[in-house]
Structure 1
Amino acid sequence: MLAEICALIVEDDPAFRRSLSTTLKAAGYRVVEAGALADATRAIAHHCPAIVLVDLGLPDGDGLSLIAAIRRDAWTPIVVISARDAEAMKVAALDAGADDYVTKPFGVDELLARVRAALRHGVQSGGAPPTVHTGALAIDLAARVVRLSGKEIDLTPKEYAILAHLAARLGAVVRHGELLKSVWGSERADVQYLRVYISQLRGKLEAEPNNPRYIISEPAVGYRLVQSSQ
């Protein structure tokens, strides 16, 4: 449902941020606000937003660095909202990982259309349907909501990022290195990190974590989210 989609607004102008928040709330989004880079980083970790709208001029850092940090999670669409209309700045933002660039001022209908398009692109780029079903497990990649037998499961951002990546490749073996690069930004990250989070995921999703039904280990290779109709 649209009401479940969390949008993070990262904007240092309080009046403009409130206006943007009002627009998105009226369209049915749940909105989280941040006025600085540090606030945005905390909000991302706590709320795990489905989409981020970010201004490039922040009081404690560069919006481009925030985009690059967010982009480590391939499931988070990013829309830049900025008064800077120079082509070089647009190119830099898109190269850093933004999905779209909207120049101020803009119309409400245009902004909402760009947000919807970015959310669609975020799902399509993963090659997976908006909701992946396997057995009693449902992973809504657009709303970033995971349910087991209809009950919403509370996951940390990294737990969700791992599960979402596996869901996008449902039934296929995903290499350790691919998961590490997707979630931690480098294939050289310690695979033990991955094992710890997989264990935590199994504890939340599996009736018998030591005999998993959903997340299967492929020794020395990676992990697979099993496709099941039961």
Structure 2
Amino acid sequence: MPTLPPPSARQRRKEARPGELLDAALALFVEKGFAATRVEEVAARAGVSKGTLFLYFPSKEDLFKAVVRETIAGRLDEWNQELDAFEGSSAELLRYGLHSWWERIGMTPASGITKLIMSEARNFPEIAAFYEQEVIEPGDHLLRRVLQHGMDSGEFRPLNLELAVYSLIAPMIFLLMWKHSMAVCLPADKQFDPKAFLDSQIDLLLRGMLATPDAPTERTAP
């Protein structure tokens, strides 16, 4: 029997796994945004045809949703399980949670998704609603659990959980926006350590800014 020639590069790439397509899509979404990214570009970067991409993801919206589930939403189950098994104080849990968030999302290409959502949500309400359902709501729930854990143990005073959660989210969003905007433009001496920033924020939240928290705040005349 004659020996068949080895498949060409294009033929081999037709068997590309969905993970390779998601990696290519994530890179392009972060580089160019949702509106400017074309599925042809994603397929080309992954080394497959557009038709092959559509076998896995029927539309660009489906591709984006898969990227979010793979890189961000899927992490939330990990953190919920770690919260259940965590042994330590609520303050240690809070610090661990924010540090691990930075290591697993903030330091990865997926960190650019937040900036994309904030800049394009108004023009694409469907993906904004999806992000709210898949990431924001479960993330809020997870942070509420951490804060409730502190209140139940007596470590934290009674808190308005709805507002307290925003106090934790705000520095995280700031870091992501900074990383994908000003940080790429400023010289090295203007940069700062993200984990040190998170530690500073946690200390402010846990201790407040008053030297003696129970003392009344003095007002000075302008």
Q: TM-score, normalised by structure 1?
A: 0.26
Q: Higher relative contact order by CA 8 Å / sep ≥ 6: 1 or 2?
A: 2
More helix by share: 2
